[in-house]
Amino acid sequence: MIAINFNNTINFMSLKIPALILSGILVIASLGLMATKGMNWGLDFTGGTVIEVGYQRDADLSAVRSVLADAGFPDAVVQYFGSSREVLIRIGPRDDIEQVTLGEQVLRLLGDADGTVDMRRIEYVGPSVGAELKEQGGLATLAALICILIYVAFRFEWRFALGAVAALAHDVIITLGLFSLLGLEFDLTVLAAVLAVIGYSLNDTIVVCDRIREGFRRIRESAPIDVVNESLTGTMSRTIITSLTTILVLLVLFFKGGELIHGFATALLFGVVIGTYSSVYIASSMSLLLGISREDLMPPPVEKEGENTEPLL
């Protein structure tokens, strides 16, 4: 059942040029931020030490941070892990302290402040492993975009394929730019969210492309821009309902999910919004600018078996 009806066609493409200009500015700004300010890479990519400790009563994170800062670890990331009695501590790589002794030193510092603390686990991530994860994450994103380009080109039309890949690249770059601007930590969970954003945006783009293709086959006398506007209007009910329900779930994760998935929820929240926008204004606008027409989307004529194509004498 359609919950939202749009009786009048919305002229989305009247804003295609301003939208493309805005997107171009945002993409350039995001690339500039990543080149100058860089990303706040998490320990998954930079290497470091992850220490999990347990308390017999609720832990005071402010007190733990204060103890570590006074001991020379002001950059330590301290957060609850599962419950208020489990604390996860992440410390970046140190040249002056061996990782083998770092866990013992941290446990001793926390034990002096609270004798009930005990070590649960300690993990070390080397810089070479972090660099490898960073490279593999980039290759995974690139491979996803190439596979999508090939699929959409075969499934629809090459103009739609270029528009879809441009929209996905647009979403990824601007999402990374947001993390660079705000200085949010980028770890493996955020990378997973970025790949999920690609999947969500692609699903939205495929629906839009399919509706536009059907519109060209169904509406024969209208100009391409009118067909695109009518097709986009027809997808609005589905787009709004899907986006709103997804955003409601992500808002719960953002506010109640805890520190460990805060970056994940942030990337997905922003990605859903920017992905919905790009499906309408990037993928569709690019297809129009590349000259999509009804002739490009019509199925090839099928010659019936036994049909005599020779002229009768």
Mean pLDDT value across the chain? 80
pLDDT at 29: 96
Q: Note the pLDDT of residue 313.
A: 46
Token code pair at residue 146: 């190439």
More confidently predicted of 220 and 50: 50
Distance CA 228, CA 211 (A): 9
**Residue 82, token pair as written in the block:** 């599962």
Report the phi/psi class of residue 143: left, alpha or beta, with left for phi > 0 and alpha for psi in -120 to 50. alpha
Position 299 pLDDT exceeds 70: no
pLDDT band for position 2 (cuts 50, 70, 90): very low
CA distance 252 to 244: 13
Question: Which of 145-154, 235-244, 252-261 is predicted most confidently?
Answer: 235-244
Cross-strand bridge partners of residue 49? 91, 124
pLDDT single digits (tens) 233-256: 888 888 888 888 989 989 988 888
Question: Which pTM was predicted?
Answer: 0.75
Beta strands in the chain (DSSP E): 40-41, 48-54, 77-81, 83-91, 118-125, 185-186
Of the pLDDT bands very low, low, confident and very high (cuts 50, 70, 90), residue 129 is low
pLDDT in tens, 101-126: 777 788 888 888 877 788 888 877 76
Cβ atoms 166, 288 nearer than 8 A: no
- Band (176; pLDDT cuts 50, 70, 90): very high
Q: Is the pLDDT of residue 178 over 80?
A: yes
Q: How confident is the model at residue 268 (pLDDT cuts 50, 70, 90)?
A: very high
Of 279, 280, 271, the residue nearest 247 (C-alpha): 271
What pairs with residue 80 in β-bridges? 87
> What pLDDT is attached to residue 1?
40
Tokens matching residue 120: 């649960």
Q: Does residue 216 surpass a pLDDT of 80?
A: no
